Each structure stands twice: as structure tokens, then as C-alpha cells.
A and B are shown apart, each in its own frame.
Chain A
């Protein structure tokens, strides 16, 4: 089936890119792997019929966040990434801990019953497909969260301005 093949191909690309983020010595290469990983996740979103989140993921994450990371990497001039080579024991301990985390989550999940059936087809005029309904829901049911998130963005903007001001700038005329 083409959907099966698509899922496996996309998940392979995504996981390979995620490992690239972690294992690359060069920080710029890590950021670009992160970009590929985000594109893979966005494609998986499209497979799940979540078109707006996929679009937002590309726009916000792959567009703005990765560009910001690349800017900071250039600003701090640390293309070399880690200076000292990693200790073998550190890497092994990190790997074992991550594997334990994954095993723990999987063991919890395997208690539950996941239906292996394909998802129910989406009815026409559902929130998944209709952007107008999505917007209507955001501005009726989720009005308060939208307002709060707007304030959060404003506060984050102010915080970034305060943080990136040069120290002792006020004393100079």
C-alpha cells in the first residue's frame, strides 16, 4: 500500500535527521538536520490530515526558529560545536538513559488498547478540513487561550529586548 510505504519512508527520514541533530559535530549541520526533521514531521502531519498544523510547523519552526538558530550560531561563531571530544562513558550513560525512557513509555503504552484500525474518514465540513470552522472555534470556544497566548508573545518580546540590551547602556549619555 502506498500509505504504508509513505509512512515508513517519512519516519525513516525524520529519525535519521533527528539523529543527525544529536550526532553532528558541526552546529550548522545540526541546525540543517533539524530543518529536515521538521519537514518530515510536517509531512507526517499531512498524513494525519492536520493541514494547518503542518503549515504552521513549516512556517514557525522551519522558517523562523531554524533561521534564528542559524543566526545565533553565526553570532556566537561556534561552527566547531563541542570543543573537547566526548567521554565514552558519558555517551553510553546518555544512550542507556534515553533507551530506558523509551522503554518506560512503551511499557506504559502497551498496557492500553490501541485500535489498529484505520482512522474514521473525516466528515465533510469538519474542523480538520474547513479553515473557517477552525478560526470560528479559536475565536469562540478558545477565546481566552488566544488572548493569553497573545499576551505571552508580547511579554516574550519585551523580555528579549531587555535581555539583549547591552549591559550598562543606560549610564552612557
Chain B
């Protein structure tokens, strides 16, 4: 079958086949009109002029616009429909942020203009910093990290720098077995051995096991809260106390801060550092995998180790501190983690969202996120298999016990949801339950949307129990592509287009 279901073109209505941009090359076409470069007596290239062609395809503007429009139609976004991808917080992205980030006074300013010409930009960064400090109760914030994992790196490096400053770098970092993969990866980048802490039967960290592993060689404990099972770590205050008693520092993975924002003061949980994914909690677009931003709030003890740059306010207004102080005998700050001043355009969008929501709206949003997740829990707990009893926080975790002996896997079940018009939930994460299905509805969804989703999930679960495994294994059927051969992709990696390669592999894209 070549996909066209009987059409001559291979297209299926709005589902249009689109070759690679390189396969549409016609020499002599261009999508830009640039002035003549003009006459240059002798170039200053020192003989380093490129000799051969690059191989870029030539297309006119209408072709390029149509190409990327067609590609967009092969994508599912939050704008398209319900996207309950647990742990990823796919909430609505307000377009006000896009509009604000494109104001010439924000988009068209250069990072190295004199501070006197960017006072508005620096004030924006300072204002965002004040919001984040107020919302967490922590006294300092580093705005430059580019994403959650980058924020983790910032926080863990600040912790290591602080420990080294007191002459005690230590060697181990503890993370729960349910942690995001970025936690152990980050700890390893900071030169730490990583030890996993088991969970208890309630889906939370086993406090006794954690305490047993604490010792004078433990630098930090990294904990996600609410955790990746969607549950609040009820022992968190005891954990923080035990961590500090052992002379270690407490890092909170703030990926799930959206459940707590405007309701819970992070500082009161005994946290020393936490990153905040602005692209989750503060509704900036995920963009198909970035750009995000991962500011890190820091306790008094860690503040001196914050990376550059940061904004300060003095008699002449705002200015940027771009060079690490603390040379000589003082603490050695972190230095620089990112080029320029961080993800400024993302900061603009986040502040637009925060100001829109206000303190009251943020609390309402976290409440609705938790309410929506508990609603899914209540409506689906008898249809699927709930991993841990509620109430949950912003996401609800099911596992694959309800699929036992049906021949249907979590993956198959998720793919069937795609045919029903939904983006699936997160599958097989966290690793602490078998065949995880992690659903995060966010506050952006209406009750009607949740009700329709529940009906679909319920009927699919019923169908699975009829042992109609083949139906699930064949899903999805109605998508631009059906299941893709990932083994082939990894075994014979084709990571770029090369001329002539299309004839051998592009069957069916006529």
C-alpha cells in the first residue's frame, strides 16, 4: 500500500504529501530579493573564499510558504486539541506573549547596547525576578538558564561551588528512582556519583531509605515535587531537615511547580535551589522542543554563587553585571552558563502571562490544574488501573494492569488514542510502575473536553478487554504516517538528505 488509499496523487484530502525542501530545487529560483552587493575593489577574505557550491535548493516564496504550511498540518499542537502529556504541562500558550516579544523595543535590541539604551529590558528582567522570588519566597534568582535541565545544572553547580567554598565538595547526589532522567545526568556533569532512592508503596520517597543513604559524603538530594507520579511528597519538610542535618543541600526539581504556583511558598519547604520551567508553569510555547527558559531560585547560602549575568539597580538605573566578582579569597561564583543574557524573548512572554494572571489568577490556575487531574482520576479509576490513591496533584498516574492478558500494551493503547484525535498521555514514565500512563490535563481544559476524553478512554479500555488486540496493534490508521520503524532508523541511521537518496527510500511520496 502506498498510502494514497486510491488517490492518484498519494494525497488524502487535507493530508498532503510533501517532499523534502531539497527535492523541490530548481536552479535560478529564490525566495528573497537582495540588492546588488556593489563593487568591491579587492575582497578582504585572504583567499578563503568558498570554492564549491553549498547545495542549498532554490525555491520561490510561495513554494516555501506552502511547504512549511503543509508540514505544520502534519503536527499536533495544543492549538489542535487535548494534549494530556504528563510531566510536560501542555497548557494554552497565550498569543499576547508572541505579540509582546515582537515589539521592536524587545525583539530589535542588541545584547551589547549600552545599558543606558536598554533600561526597559533590564527593568523587565528585574520585574520577572521579583515575581519569581515572591512566588517562591527564595531571595535570589538566576535568569540565564535556557531550559529545565540547564537550570538543574545551574542549581547543582551552585551547590557544588558552595560546598567547595566550605572545603567539602562531597561525592554523592541522591535522587528518587522516579526522577526525571535529567537529574542523574546533571549530577554526573557536576562530578557526582548518583544514587537512587526507592519509593514507598504510596508512590513517594521512602523517607527511611533516604535517611539511611544520607551521610557526610552526600552533597545534595534532588527531589521533584509534586513528584513524577503526580503526588505531593508529604515528608518533604522532614526530608529537608534530614538533608540539612547531614550537611547537604536540598534541590527541588521545579518541573511541576505549576501545581503549586500561587498557593505554596517553596522556601517554607526547606528548599535551597529550584529551577522553574517558564515554558511549563508560565505558559510560554514549547515550540516543538524549545526554546524554553529555566530560571533558578536560590537560598541565601547559594545566592553568592549565582552565575552571571544579573541585573542590579543603582542610582543610574538598572545595569547588568557581566563579570563574576569574588576573585581573591571570597567565594568563587559560578561564572557564565549561557551566551548573552539568557532567553530574553521567553522572559517577555512569561511576564506577559504572569501579569495577565496576577497573583489571584495563578492560584486559580494551579487549583484548576489539580481539580482537572483529580476529575480524570475520579472518572477513570474504575476503567483503568490507578497506580496510587488520590488526591493527586496536577497529573494522575495509571499503569497497565487493566491491560493484563488483553495482548494490548500501553503503547498500543496510546496509539489508539491518536486515531481518536488526542495526543496521548506520557507513556512508560515514570519508571516506577509498569507500563505507565501519566495524564496531565492542565487548567486549560474545559469540563466538556475532559468528559469527551473520558468517554473515549472508557470505550477503548472496554474494547481492549474484549481482547481485540489487533485493532490496537494496527493503530494509528488515520494519521499522516502510521507506526514508524524506529529500529531501522537506529540500525541504519540516515541523518541527512543526500542527492539521490530519495529514490531508494521515498517510495510512496510521489
The judgment on whether A and B are partners is no
Question: Which residues of B are interface residues toward A (Cβ below 8 A)?
Answer: none
Question: Which residues of A are interface residues toward B (Cβ below 8 A)?
Answer: none
